[in-house]
Structure 1
Amino acid sequence: MKLTETLAPTQKRIALVAHDNMKETLASWCQKHKSVLENQCLFATGTTGQRVKVATGLEVIPLLSGPMGGDQQIGAKIAEQSLDILIFFWDPLESMPHDPDVKALLRIAAVWNIAVACNPTSADYLISSPLINTEYAYRVPDYSAYAAGRSE
């Protein structure tokens, strides 16, 4: 498969997702990093977005609840290259009825090579990177031949 280069803008488009018992952790993390996040474009699934908005006052573009399709909305935005970062605080010890959705979301983020943080430590590293406030070129799959009906 060919790869092509794409550009993440200076203002990053960040998706915020958290499982039920991680929502407060994500809201607290957002409060801690409010000065950086207020300069980004934030999307969030259902209740997570509300919790973040109430805890921080940050503007958050709401999507559906994760199990009701919000995870798929985020996946679609990733595939359309309209998200640059996924911050997804999930609980690896909790069994989830929508576990296939979780795996699909993490898979699509890997396919499209966007930055992903799955816990507060990795999110701290990501948000404190000097790349957070600059344009950043990265490689993504080039599906132009596939889209045109040709295989390579």
Structure 2
Amino acid sequence: MRMGLAANAIHHDHDDAALFRWLRASERGIRELNLSLHAVGRTYAAIERVGLLAGYAGLVRYPYGHEGGLMKLVAEVVGMPQPERVLDGAIYLINPVDPSSTFPEAVALKRQCVIHQKPFISTVASARDWIECERIHAGFAPDPGADSLFALEDQTIALIAHDAMKPQMLAYATDHFELLSRFARRVGTGTTGQHLNELAWSRGWPQDKPWVERYQSGPMGGDAQIADMVLERRCQRAIFFEDPHVARQHEADIQLLERAVTTVTDETVCMTAPRVANRWAEAVRRRSAWR
């Protein structure tokens, strides 16, 4: 498995920065999975500087960002003719106030991951969560250090989908209804939340009790309302099925939610594609079966 890796400067400019917190928590899993990390130049240099992943052949240096390193990751997420130049996703630890996070190559990296149904991982919590899920799929015993990420009964999850992705969200909720019902609380934007409540009521959920707490629709500010929950550490996980093919009038609101997630990088997990979310759900089931 090959993953692109990049981190904005704030995430590797001191010894306890986000990149290193993730690597210290997940280095064992990275080695167990024999995961190839294709790191852009400055991120690669930072990892070498602090001595993490020492001697690990799976850490591969790419050019610096200003030399096209991030652009190369985008192309390899799409897929190149050479098998060794195909990435299975990308880990990009974003500083939401760094202008480089809005550069075309940064935006394109996420967009192509969503289009090709590959993981786009932008927070420490998401990166830790993803490593643990892949460990479970590979047959390794659960890492107790990741237990808090999977304490669903103590968490709030946001379920959001753009118009073209609402059928996929309903299908996802149908397939994983019992799993999603384990969360202490489910929240969603207007229309998606209503559809999910109707689904839950058809499945026997009490008619006088909403399965999803509905906020405003996205264009009316629902994304901003949920972003506030994220910033206050009251929402720990978001499944946000994005449609990357349409221009959206409320693009700023969508970006606000994404920026909120990356602001609380250690606390919030976000998934943006049905295939990724389905793989997570299966890993949760397998992990629970170990207990």
TM category, shorter: 0.7 to 0.9
Aligned residues: 134
Match of 2:221 among 69, 90, 111: 69
Give the TM-score, by structure 2 length. Answer: 0.42
The alpha carbon displacement at 1:43 in A equals: 0.4
RMSD: 2.6
Asked if structure 2 preserves the Cα contact closer than 8 Å seen for 1:117 and 1:126, the reply is no
Superposed displacement of residue 69, structure 1? 1.1
Aligned residue among 164, 169, 177 for 1:26: 169
Instruction: Kindly indicate which of the two structures has a greater share of residues assigned to strand.
Output: 1
Provide structure 2 residue ranges, at least 5 long, that are not aligned to the other structure. 1-9, 11-15, 18-147, 206-210
Q: 1:10 and 1:60 mapped to 2: Cα distance? A: 15
2:78 aligns to what? none
SS in structure 2 opposite 1:107? Answer: helix
Letter in 2 for 1:22: M
Match of 1:150 in 2: none
Question: Per-residue CA shift, 1:82-141, capped at 9, x if unaligned?
Answer: 00101111101111011111112112112212111111111113333449x98xxxxxxx
Q: Which runs of 4+ in 1 moved over 6 A?
A: none
Q: Contact 1:44/1:62 (CA < 8 Å) preserved in 2?
A: yes
1:48 to 189, 192, 196: 192
CA offset at residue 73 of structure 1? 0.6
Per the TM alignment, residue 25 of structure 1 is displaced from its structure 2 partner at its CA by 1.1
Determine if the alignment matches structure 1 residue 90 to structure 2 residue 234: no
Deviations 1:8-36 (A, max 9, x none): 65412100111111111101111100010
1:10 & 1:92 partners in 2: Cα distance?
Answer: 29
Question: For the Cα contact (< 8 Å) 1:28–1:55, is it kept in 2?
Answer: no
CA contact (8 A) 1:15 1:87 kept: yes
Q: Considering only CA atoms, is the larger Rg found in Structure 1 or Structure 2?
A: 2
Unaligned runs of 5+ in 1: 135-152
Q: 1:101 is paired with a residue of what secondary structure?
A: helix
**Residue identity matched to 2:271:** A
Shift of residue 56, structure 1, vs aligned partner: 3.3
Which of structures 1 and 2 has the larger relative contact order (alpha carbons within 8 angstroms, sep 6+)?
A: 1
Q: 3-state DSSP class of the match of 2:245?
A: coil
Query: Would you tell me which structure has more helix in proportion to its own residues?
Result: 2
